[in-house]
Amino acid sequence: MALQDLCNYHDILVDDATSESAPFGKRIGFKNMSGLTLRNSTSLFKFYIPAPEYLEGSPIQFGQVSTIQSSKDILHPDSILQSLSSLTAPPLASSQSVPLPFPMSHGTTTLAFMFQGGVLAAADTRSSCSGLVACPAAQKILPIHSHLVSTTSGTSADCALWKRILARELRLYQLRHGRRLSTGGAAKLLSHMLHPFKGTKLCVAATLCGWDGGEVEECRDQDFDLKDCREVTKSQVRSLEKSLDASLDKAQRASLEADGQLSLTRKKQSFSGPRLFYVCSDGTRLQGSLFSVGSGSPYAYSILDQGVEWKLTVDEAISIAREAVYRATHRDAYSGNFVDIYHISSKGWTRRSREDLKEEYYREKEKRTKEKRDVAGLDSVCAEK
């Protein structure tokens, strides 16, 4: 499969069998430099491997006294077995013997939905570390390329790293093939890249929001005189064909036939329009029209369910997204501070300036006190009567 060749998937699988297992769950994704003689040097996961002694312990115990480690080995028969057996024991199981330094909790609110104007992605900006607000102005929506944006949830470090890896791979694809990889392809790529880490503590839950439709589709659009932001589904393609046969003038038809195989053929599904995918490090990959991820997602979901429709205008969509994030930050302790809103259309992504939700809270509080005063005023008027 082309995608497998691209990420050297087979190489990674082969590497499993040859590398030593060690109590370090992430090892499987890394190439062991010593065994590299036969391998293709354009491999995907080429990271610097530090001295082997450090790999025996977990990164959490880096630099600590070794007595802790040996006692841990005694306590956990898994890790003893790990060091004894080699090839067949999956390195994934070893990560369970490593204790976490503190309980991890993934607190955020991100959401994304499709509508006629493209895709809208919104997220809060609070980066929390088990009760401490580590950063009140984090960036949870990371642009990947001009027409693809990814909202991230889970461990910030993991998300930042994988987003950069994905961006690099998509750029390479674009350079090699002359067109952008579709959102679905990017989602599949990310999902396959994360698959070796299934079962480890890696936690990435991203929604990829993009606009598909590269250079080929754009000149087709001019020929057909289609409106912007219109999905070209299979049935529409067929109906277009019929209408073209019936009503098109000769010059356009000639140019179409010259385009030949690329344009209206069914084999190459050339789709143009908004796309939304949810990819998770446990292997989930879903296409949909509305997603919300994170600890604040229930609060956001109900607002989005109420208001999101296909025929929203851009401004209405932005206000619904802002309201949904605001409500989630209002109730969820791990979400808050600001809200970022990105809008992806056929022309690429645009970002609104960051809005402080504190202002929204004060505005609403004022409105409520004003209502209370009105209510009290009305009551007193009634009493007087």
Partner 1 sequence: MALFEVSGFRSYSEVRGRQTHLADRTNHYNFGTKTQEFAVPVGVDPSGFLKTCNHDGGVCIDMNHGTTTLAFKFRHGVIVAVDSRASAGRYLASNDVNKVIEINPYLLGTMSGSAADCQYWERLLAKECRLYRLRNNHRISVAAASKLLCNMMLGYRGMGLSVGSMICGWDKQGPGLYYVDDNGTRLSGRMFSTGCGNGYAYGVIDSGYREDMTVEEAYELGRRGIAHATHRDAYSGGVVNMYHMQEDGWIKVCKEDVSELIHRYRKGMF
The residues annotated as belonging to the active site are 108
Q: Evaluate whether 200 touches 154 at the Cβ level (below 8 Å).
A: no
Q: Which of 333, 354, 356 minimizes the C-alpha distance to 133?
A: 333
Q: Tokens 């993991």 map to which residue?
A: 158
| Torsion region of 230: left, alpha or beta (phi above 0 gives left; psi -120 to 50 gives alpha) | beta
Report CA torsion sign: 206, 207, 211, 214: positive
Among residues 265 and 306, whose Cβ is nearest to partner 1?
306
Q: Which residues bind partner 1 (CB under 8 A)?
A: 289, 297-303, 305-306, 308-311, 323-324, 327-328, 330-331, 368, 371-372, 374-375, 378
Residues 6+ apart with CB under 8 A from 189: 3, 6, 7, 166, 169, 170, 181
* C-alpha pair distances (Å), 168 with each of 42, 68, 223: 13, 39, 33
Joined tokens for residue 243: 């209408």
The smaller minimum CB distance to partner 1, of residues 331 and 347, is found at: 331
Q: Which is nearer to partner 1, 188 or 330 (CB)?
A: 330
Query: For partner 1, which is the closer residue by CB, 141 or 303?
Result: 303
Residues 6+ apart with CB under 8 A from 186: 144, 148, 166, 170, 208, 210, 277
Query: Which lies closer to partner 1 via its Cβ, residue 195 or residue 330?
Result: 330
Helix then strand count (H, E) for the chain reads 15, 13
CA dihedral sign of residues 287, 292, 295, 299: negative
Which residue in the block uniquely carries the two structure tokens 């503190």?
Answer: 102
Nearer to partner 1, 39 or 76 (CB): 76
Distance CA(377)–CA(364), nearest Å, equals: 20
Q: Which of these, 68, 134, 66, lies nearest to 104 by C-alpha position?
A: 134
CB of 324 to partner 1, least distance (A): 7
